[in-house]
Amino acid sequence: MEALQAFQILDLRIGRILKAEPHEKARKPS
């Protein structure tokens, strides 16, 4: 169970990063 919880937390963090990257690029177009 602990491993599953850790994996879910990491998945949520990865999801947030993937969603945050496009927003940052949109704010600062290169």
Q: What is the pLDDT of residues 1-30, one digit of tens each?
A: 799 999 999 999 988 888 877 777 777 765
- Specify the pLDDT at position 17: 82
Q: Say how far apart CA 6 and CA 30 lie, in whole Å.
A: 35
Residue with tokens 């993937």: 18
Q: Say how far apart CA 18 and CA 23 lie, in whole Å.
A: 9
- Specify the pLDDT at position 8: 93
- Specify the pLDDT at position 2: 92
